[in-house]
Amino acid sequence: MNGDWLLRGRDGRLTVYLPSDDAVLCRAELAPGGPWETPRRIGGDQRLRPGPAVGQGADGYAHLVAWRPTVNGESGLVHSTHFRPRLAPLDWNPLGHPDKKGDRTGTPAVAVDAEGRAHVFVRAAGGGVGMAAQKEKGGWNPWTHLGGEDVHEQLAAVTGQSGRVELYAAGPGGILRWRQEEPGTPPGPAEGLDVRARPGTLRALATSDEHTTLFFTDRHGELCAWRAGSAPVPLLTAAGPGPVSAVRCAIEGHDCTVLAQRSASGRVAFAAYPTEQEPAGAWWTESGPQLGAGAAVSVALDEHGELVAASLDPSTGTLLLTRRKDEPGLALRAWREV
């Protein structure tokens, strides 16, 4: 999944969204902190192509986007909304194609503005970025092209604490950024970064009223943090390939950013530091069993605002969960299968 696939719903229950062959599955807690339901397939028998995306609004609703095959050699994007963990998600509804028609062009990304409108971004066939956004009173606005050239397939979309949407894309010339200046308007080009990022390593997080922070791995293998208006800060060597998962939480009364990533050893690595204070330093601590190649990790906050993390091993389909212990530091409970 592109985006954090472990989410807390508005009723406090956790939900995971899991790609599986030609579908997306969801599982939810039966009660906050309790047992989990069996997996459910979203959208019935409709077949999907690999690479779905998920985003969540301030209202707690999850928005999912995926490609589906249409006619021979072509695909179109579809969207579903999941209002509450124990309810069934809506059926997949077509969004069309950023180039009107054609095959899959890239992995979509989703962000939801303060009014609850989903914004869907995807690389277009020409190498730029296309966007479709929900209307205020239902339906979708037509696809628009935001620009860009030769962007990498995976994009990072985020909603700032102001409720405005931002988008990051990496390309051969550096990192591109678009920002929504007014609610309901398309994001426009904003300050970028003349630094090359490894493909598929972008992840953005709202870290203050003024800023979002972009995490990416540079060509030297360093995990960097960047906020517009300042230089990127190398945090530590990336634990492994792919993007980090990131969340803000209180640790011993301090506002901290927690990062998680599957390490080169196959275990899950965690790091934490005071939010937006990268010079304070961070270091990785590995946790849990070894996972297969391509395993994913996602972090979120539970109903008490405490850290919870999930890992998915695609080679076995095993879903593991851990939570922070009630003790100083970032100590975690033993991982358990759900």
Quote the DSSP letter at residue 140: B
What are the DSSP calls for 267-281, one per residue?
SEEEEEEETT-GGG-
What are the DSSP calls for 200-243, one per residue?
T--EEEE-SSS-EEEEEEBTTSEEEEE-TTS--EEEEE-SSSSP
Tell me the per-residue pLDDT of 62-102, one tens digit each, with 9 for 90 and over: 999 999 999 999 999 999 999 999 899 999 999 999 999 99
pLDDT computed for residue 31 by the predictor: 92
- 305 by DSSP, 3-state: which? coil
Tell me the per-residue pLDDT of 15-58, one tens digit each, with 9 for 90 and over: 999 998 899 999 999 999 889 999 999 998 899 999 999 999 99
Question: Which of the four pLDDT bands, split at 50, 70 and 90, describes residue 327?
Answer: confident
Instruction: Evaluate whether 313 touches 291 at the Cβ level (below 8 Å).
Output: yes
| Cα–Cα distance for residue pair 260/266, rounded to 1 Å | 12
β 40-41/53-56 pair status: unpaired
Question: Which of the four pLDDT bands, split at 50, 70 and 90, describes residue 138?
Answer: confident
Residue 112 reports pLDDT greater than 90:
yes
Which of 161, 268, 175, 270 has the alpha carbon at shortest distance from 214? 175
End-to-end CA distance of the chain: 19
Q: Kindly report the CA angle at 169 between 94 and 298, in degrees rounded to 5?
A: 75
- HSE toward the beta carbon, residue 318, CA cutoff 13 A: 15
Tell me the per-residue pLDDT of 197-227, one tens digit each, with 9 for 90 and over: 999 999 999 999 999 999 999 999 999 999 9
pTM value? 0.96
Largest CA distance in the chain: 57
